[in-house]
Amino acid sequence: MNISSYSFGQIIIGKKEYNSDIIIYPERIDSFWWRKKSHSVAIEDIPGILKKQPETIIFGTGFYGLMKIENQVREKCKKRGINLIIEKSGKAVQIFNELNKEQKVIAALHLTC
């Protein structure tokens, strides 16, 4: 699965357009990713990601990088040996397209601010 383009509030994967925050799993896309707090990611927001046991999780923190990843998420990933990449969504998309060919990677992307 490859991301064709990303701009503020919009991402295109293949030929399909998405306009809300998403999680890209190896086999599917969760096109309505909502969090307990809109600009913060807690453990409660990512049980499906952790269950899949990816090698890498990429968090796209938004166009301007306003979404934060809570320390408990960072600690849980470290304990499980999961590589954690946290970047603004534009850079996160580039990294996802590179790593997706080589390893089991899941991307959780905030599309706006």
pLDDT tens for the chain, 113 residues long, are 899 999 999 999 989 999 999 999 999 999 989 999 989 999 999 999 999 999 999 999 999 999 999 999 999 999 999 999 999 999 999 999 999 989 999 999 999 99
Report the distance separating Cα 109 and Cα 33, nearest Å.
Answer: 9
Which domains can be identified in the chain, with CATH numbers?
A: 3-109 (3.40.1230.10)
pTM of the model: 0.96
Report the distance separating Cα 113 and Cα 98, nearest Å.
Answer: 24
CB 38 within 8 A of CB 110: no
